[in-house]
Amino acid sequence: MPLNAWWKAEELEFGLNDSGAKVLIADARRLESLRSRLVEMRELTHHFEIGTPEFAALLEGDDPRMPTTPIDEDDVLAILYTSGTTVSPRARP
């Protein structure tokens, strides 16, 4: 699910942890801002930097780790993560 690329590292970390994300695909800037926090993000098992050979390998060929589920034009493309825009979700009662 997409996260807001304008978020600071703390906000990205919260969104990833709160959503239970297992994989992070990010550009160099976002990944660098999170690098020191990745080890503590226990649920996040993989991270890939866009533009690297490792990321390119995900997009090539018949990788057995990639799903082969058929996609229909009416299938959901994305579920956006949002915790509100006016207050941190931690501030909610």
Domains held by the chain: number? 1
* 54 lies in some domain: yes
Of 54-58, 75-79, 83-87, least confident by mean pLDDT is 83-87
| SS3 call for 66 | coil
Closest C-alpha to 16, from 28, 29, 4: 4
* 67 lies in some domain: no
* 84 lies in some domain: no
* 79 lies in some domain: no
pLDDT digits (tens, 9 = 90+) for 39-62: 899 899 999 999 999 888 888 766
pLDDT digits (tens, 9 = 90+) for 9-40: 998 999 899 888 999 999 999 999 999 999 89
For the purposes of burial, counting CB atoms within 10 Å of the CB of 7, is it exposed (0-12), middle (13-18) or buried (19 or more)?
A: middle
What domain range includes position 41? 1-61
Residues 86-91: contacts with CB under 8 Å, at least 24 apart: 88/14, 89/14, 89/18, 90/14
β partners of residue 7: none
